[in-house]
Structure 1
């Protein structure tokens, strides 16, 4: 009996190129594409959107065999038995064909067919044979006196060997996919910084602060009074238009002042027991303007409407804060919508201060974070800033490339006893 794989019409699998070369090629390709990406598109596009693009393009999708969809077919074939040691063949240097049977096994799969050519880091010296056609892998079993049990055993062992190789590749690919987003993000950030430097943008279009003597150190807030001066560098002739941004260190300093003010409210509930949102907003404005001075007036922090605290440059908001009592999901989502409506610059920063009275504080904390991440414009959870505060990234309602950093801080402000 002749029993084995067809000779000459099946390729060896998992042996054309090694995994290390594939991984290095993908990493180099990511860096190269970032480096030649159109500079204005790079600057005008959300960093998260760019990272998602590169991740989707360069992530590795190792095939997954669909065992339940495996099918077989058989047909008559001329079998080369020149290498069968149990047969007498006068000249084994040439093919010697006899009538036989060929069983073709079709194995559907999902994923990138190129991985059937890749040798995993763990491999054998006798890889399986097969042929990829479309979204199926075909293997052959042929012989002159095939028996069902032998054919079944050969199919099972070959499929198992193929799956073992794919599992090795899948493990390596998953590790690569987890790391490629960080690689792309780092490369994008580096090139953006270089492009901005080339266009004479100093210090992330920030606000140079001039120290001023005499600021009180009330509520453990900053020791100096700072002057916020938005700096717009000379406009580039390129299509990217530089826009002002509030630097992260000043953003965090403002949040710290507001947090310290709430701590005072928590420690002295009787003084604020009957304060509404507008009164609390005024309370914050007094303290914030005691530490920051605007470019043209003494009040950098202004208000619009009933609850807004705003910092503006050229009529557009670059920092927005909302003071709200917790009144349930509907009111909270409306607050987020209101903030997104203010977004005009590409890097507006915002804060929502949620005050809780007479409700289970633990339940409110859990609801606020969960509701925030369900908002249709939610893009990314950045980090937890405190036990009761989180930083998020939101997209503009009309332009997904314009984003807002939103810090949500929840505080328990009980009524006076």
Structure 2
């Protein structure tokens, strides 16, 4: 009987010498298959993370200050939920809406130029309010009549579900150092997925051409600037910046300078 048990134990030991390495290789293959599946799921989810976030124009929008558009509604689109781990795609602002916003802001400056006495004594907040009136006159949110809001003293933004999908910093020109700080402040507001931003500069300097030259030189020297500028007008520049949190993540940054009238130029 003992000899039979000894034979069985010997045969099992032989099998262990073969089964052991096989089991270890099997573990590695299973882990590789699981990691590959996980990577594919993440790629599939990321493919729908940057969903277009369309603005809906107002049908009753006034045509006094801006080119005719149809008032659009912000409608975030999300993919259907699945039984897998929760994943919530983040909305982003689509390129067409971004360009529409910039066009409306630019058209508002024509009003300033044509009616200088009405804007000569206004400060940053007062001028910003005029932009907000025009923007909210042309666009509406999915849940309320106003899409564009502001925080602090200088921001114009679209906020959805607690995060910003468009943000602009409005500042009076006070030199290259303050301009660089404004860009830094704006980039600091952006999350990893935010790709649309603008810096709006109000200048009351006498030599506006010199201000524009300094703006371009300062933006070109910024450490996060990657490409540009593309000149989209006499005082509008389009850059590609890197997100400070991930320099490979690119941000469209438009810089628009306005020559705001005043009775006393410096």
TM-score interval for Structure 1 and Structure 2 normalised by the shorter chain: 0.7 to 0.9
Return the offset for 1:329. Answer: 0.8
1:317-336 alpha-carbon deviations (Å, 9 max, x no partner): 11111221110011101110
Aligned to 1:279: 126
1:385 counterpart residue number: 232
Distance 1:241-1:379 versus aligned 2 partners, 3 A rule: farther
Report how many aligned residue pairs link the two structures: 227
Distance 1:41 1:372, change over 3 A: farther
Distance 1:233 1:387 in 2: 41
Unmatched 5+ stretches in structure 1: 1-37, 45-194
The answer to whether the Cα contact below 8 Å between 2:173 and 2:201 also exists between their aligned partners in 1 is yes
Structure 1 length-normalised TM: 0.49
Indicate the residue corresponding to 2:245 in structure 1. Answer: 398
Q: Does 1:369 align with 2:237?
A: no
Distance 2:56 2:111 in 1: 28
Of 206, 214, 221, the match for 2:60: 214
CA distance in structure 2 between the partners assigned to 1:209 and 1:402 by the alignment: 24
Within the candidate set 174, 177, 189, 1:327 is matched to 174
Distance 1:240 1:363 in 2: 49
SS in 2 for 1:290: helix
Q: Which has the larger radius of gyration?
A: 1
Flag the 1:371–1:41 CA change in 2: closer, same or farther, 3 A.
Answer: farther
Distance 2:190 2:249 in 1: 8
Q: CA RMSD in A?
A: 3.0
Rounded to whole Å, the distance in 2 between the matches of 1:234 and 1:380 is: 37
Residue 222 (structure 1) shift: 3.5
Tell me which residue corresponds to 1:338.
185
Write the mapping of 1:14-413 to structure 2, written as runs, cut at 5 A.
201=48, 205-210=51-56, 212-234=58-80, 242-381=89-228, 383-413=230-260
Say whether the 8 Å CA contact 1:269–1:416 is kept in structure 2: no
Please give the secondary structure, in 2, of the residue aligned with 1:400.
Answer: strand
4+ long deviations beyond 6 Å: 235-241
| Change in CA separation of 1:209 and 1:342 when aligned onto 2, cut-off 3 Å | closer
- TM-score, normalising length from structure 2? 0.75
* SS of residue matched to 1:395: strand
Shift of the alpha carbon at 1:393?
Answer: 1.5
Decide whether aligned partners of structure 1 residues 304 and 375 sit closer, same or farther in structure 2, where only a CA change above 3 A counts.
Answer: same
The 1:345/1:406 distance shift into structure 2, 3 A limit, reads same
Q: Deviations over 1:170-228 (max 9, x none)?
A: xxxxxxxxxxxxxxxxxxxxxxxxx87x98849x6113455643221121334321111
Q: Give secondary structure in 1 for the equivalent of 2:107.
A: helix
Provide Cα deviations, 1:258-299, integer angstroms capped at 9, x if missing partner: 000011111111101111111111111111111111122211
